[in-house]
Structure 1
Amino acid sequence: MSQSQETPQDTSQDSGQEAAPAAKVRVLLVAWFLRPERRWLGEFLPPERFECSYVGLDERVDSTRMRTPGKKWWQLFRLALKARRHLARHPQDLLVTAFPQVGFTVGLVNLLSFARLPHVVWYFNCGHEYQGPRKWLSRVAYRSVHRFIVYTMHERSVYARVFALPESRFHFTHLTGPELKAGEFRGARERFGLAPRYIAALGSSGRDYDTLFRAVEGLPVQLVVVAHPSALPSGPVPPNIKVMTSIPQEDYLRVIAEAELVAIPVNNRETASGQMTLIQAMSLGVPVVATRCIGTEDYIRHGENGWFVQMGDVEHWRRTLRSLLDDPEARRRSATEALRFAQERLTDRAGAQVLADLAGELSPLTDRGPGRPG
């Protein structure tokens, strides 16, 4: 080689040029409850790695009913169309929707409009196995969903069979929600005229209030039930039971926070029920007694952060409730352990870490440079 010839060299370091920063993963979160003050998982995703945008609804969506009424379906299809318009204007790397109904409407709209991007459905709990046309339509709509976040190990195989999808698409993690502080939810007794000591039972999906009503009859404590009328047993209500059918979410949490115990009676052998009330009680440091079933087995360690009773066993419920009401030290220990468990595993901050890990798995664009298409 002659002296006039030069060997090619990498001069990027010599010239002082820095490597281009890694491109951020663009995440679109779609849920009816999103608000400027409620950014859900996006609030906890590291901003140096993720760029989040949001699509929600301005009007209130009724999420208390066991079945989805026509008005709500109309709202959810409008939400899905709103999300699709956003995607057309602002391409994304990952789509995250909340609850099966939103996953269904968004999945169907994206399928019909040939949208192609990784889609994760959060809060995927169907309450019961779908049948007939609804099952067939769901199989169509969910075909393009890449991951379903489920909250019990058992549901992975159930939903894989029901929706004819690989079990690997169903990812188990503990149910998460906003971090709650018990001191911020006070005044339920005065607001609703509740007894000084009461047991709270809340929620509608898959509940077994018939068993619980019979178990507390004659106990020297009030039972406060917050549920949709369709979830309640027919016939007269025992005198030590107070039923409320519709209260704001903040009051719902007040009722939990001031209870001696939270009871979660379940009669559902198909899918999971009761986890939302369970994590709210744990997060507020309230002891929990729950039916041993699909929806509670992955959360409660019997005698440590809660107690199990057998499904439909009136006497087992009665003995357990009476024993715990007479043992404040056992309630205190359980409440402390439940709160620790909730702070470690049941907050949206923990959920955001799960989403960050999934983004690395589902979006190969995480390592893509700044010259990405779209």
Structure 2
Amino acid sequence: MPPWTYTTGYDLRGEIALLWGVLRAATKYEGLLLFTGRGRFKPEVLAVFLLSFLPRRWRPTIVFCGEAWEPNSEWRAVIDRIIVRFVDRAISCYALLSEDETRLFPLIWGIDPAKVCFVPYMYSLTKEEMQGYVEPGAYVFAGGNSFRDYEPLVEAARMMPEQHFVFATRKLKGHPNLPRNVQAGQVPTDEYVRLLRGARVVVVPLRMGTYRASGQQTYLNAMALKKPVIVSDALGVRSYVRHGENGLVVCATPESYVEALRWTLDPRNASDVDRMIESAYQDIVQRFNPEHHARTLISIMQTLFEGSTLGRQMSCSSGEVRHDPHGYSPTPE
């Protein structure tokens, strides 16, 4: 996995360095584990596009891990399909982050379904961020920019003037009519985590009707911090959130957010909310953690190196690994 230091905003030099790093790694290693979504211009995808013109015997085994690609429109869609057609020649497996994506991805891009499987994602909090007492705050928290739709949640906040809301996002910058009980703005990563730790409830207002999953990092981190989560019923969510068991899944209308928030905040439902939180935390311990994610990817690589056909029959989400989540320090995306 060629290293790449994340920077805020657009970094052409960094993306060129990552592109070159993948090409160099392809000459030194038998296998590469790459990511589908890093960078504005997806340098790892472009590197594999270039590698696809080499004879098969000169190419390493390549596994792409991450979210599926959201289709573009008009002329960009034509270019995307040409690139993917060539990239697919060099890819042995696509390890996607939701079961919904494993069904849609081959249909959208014309890829062999046998090359696609589901690998559960993980929380990304560091050891330090996980440690210490996490006190329940007095506000409802929502954050993130990618594939978010805040407007229904803003309207829900307007319908709950007694409740304070904090939105850590740039998507509401310049909003002409935010309610007085809403605080909104982009924040640094450390502040984002601090706000997440201090929230009473975490809402992830995902955009509906997309072709790729998103938001897993936010709601899995919230589960790891034992926060009740409310997530809109977008693509991929139900691979992680079971409605009424480890979180609440809503239809993304203002009324559905209000109903879920009032139920979660009602002291009469405290025992049910606590049960839901504990169930979510057990999911984190058993499946949605760095060790399970890494072991599953390693298992895929081993299967490919052994010359076996990966196939849809391979259960990429099986083999639960139990561990103490405080013992690992993954680097946040």
TM-score, length basis structure 2: 0.79
Structure 2 distance, partners of 1:103, 1:142, is: 13
2:36–2:67: 8 Å Cα contact kept in structure 1?
Answer: yes
Residue among 286, 289, 298 paired with 2:230: 289
Show structure 1 runs of 4+ deviating over 6 A.
none
Q: Give the number of the structure whose alpha-carbon radius of gyration is greater.
A: 1
Identity %: 19
1:261 equivalent to 2:201? Answer: yes
How much does 1:177 deviate? 4.0
How much does 1:273 deviate? 2.4
How much does 1:196 deviate? 4.8
Q: Which residue of 2 aligns with 1:208?
A: 149
Q: Which residue of 2 aligns with 1:124?
A: 67
1:95–1:117: 8 Å Cα contact kept in structure 2?
Answer: yes
Structure 1 distance, partners of 2:110, 2:137, is: 51
How much does 1:296 deviate? 0.9
Q: Any gaps of 5 or more consecutive residues in structure 2?
A: 309-333
The one-letter code sitting in structure 2 at the alignment partner of 1:222 is: H
Secondary structure in 2 matching 1:269: coil
Q: Which residue of 2 aligns with 1:252?
A: 192
Q: Which residue of 1 aligns with 2:311?
A: none
How much does 1:235 deviate? 2.2
Q: 1:150 to 1:356 in 2, by over 3 A?
A: same
Match runs of 1:181-196 below 5 Å:
183-184=130-131, 196=137
User: How many residues are paired up?
Assistant: 293
The one-letter code sitting in structure 1 at the alignment partner of 2:261 is: L
Structure 1 distance, partners of 2:8, 2:116, is: 27
Residue among 164, 168, 171 paired with 1:226: 168
Structure 2 distance, partners of 1:177, 1:197, is: 24
Structure 1 distance, partners of 2:79, 2:53, is: 18
Residue among 1, 19, 24 paired with 1:80: 19
Structure 1 distance, partners of 2:142, 2:105, is: 28
Q: Which residue of 2 aligns with 1:317?
A: 257
Q: 1:317 to 1:178 in 2, by over 3 A?
A: closer
Q: Any gaps of 5 or more consecutive residues in structure 1?
A: 1-28, 31-55, 64-68, 190-194, 367-374
Q: Which residue of 2 aligns with 1:95?
A: 32
Secondary structure in 2 matching 1:297: helix
Q: Which residue of 1 aligns with 2:90?
A: 144
The one-letter code sitting in structure 2 at the alignment partner of 1:93 is: E
Map Cα deviations across residues 280-339 of structure 1 (whole Å, 9 max, x no partner): 11122111011122121111111111011113x211211110121123333322221111
Structure 1 distance, partners of 2:64, 2:205, is: 27
1:174 equivalent to 2:125? Answer: no
1:266–1:273: 8 Å Cα contact kept in structure 2?
Answer: yes
Structure 2 distance, partners of 1:142, 1:233, is: 41
CA RMSD of aligned residues (A): 2.7
2:231–2:250: 8 Å Cα contact kept in structure 1?
Answer: yes
Q: Which residue of 1 aligns with 2:50?
A: 109
Q: Which residue of 2 aligns with 1:304?
A: 245
How much does 1:198 deviate? 0.7
1:159 equivalent to 2:159? Answer: no
TM-score, length basis structure 1: 0.71
The one-letter code sitting in structure 2 at the alignment partner of 1:99 is: T
Q: 1:60 to 1:183 in 2, by over 3 A?
A: closer
Q: Which residue of 2 aligns with 1:329?
A: 271
Secondary structure in 1 matching 2:214: coil
How much does 1:109 deviate? 3.3
Q: Which residue of 2 aligns with 1:360?
A: 302
Residue among 163, 177, 185 paired with 1:236: 177
The one-letter code sitting in structure 2 at the alignment partner of 1:355 is: L
Structure 2 distance, partners of 1:301, 1:332, is: 15
Secondary structure in 1 matching 2:141: strand
1:179–1:348: 8 Å Cα contact kept in structure 2?
Answer: no
Match runs of 1:333-344 below 5 Å:
333-344=275-286
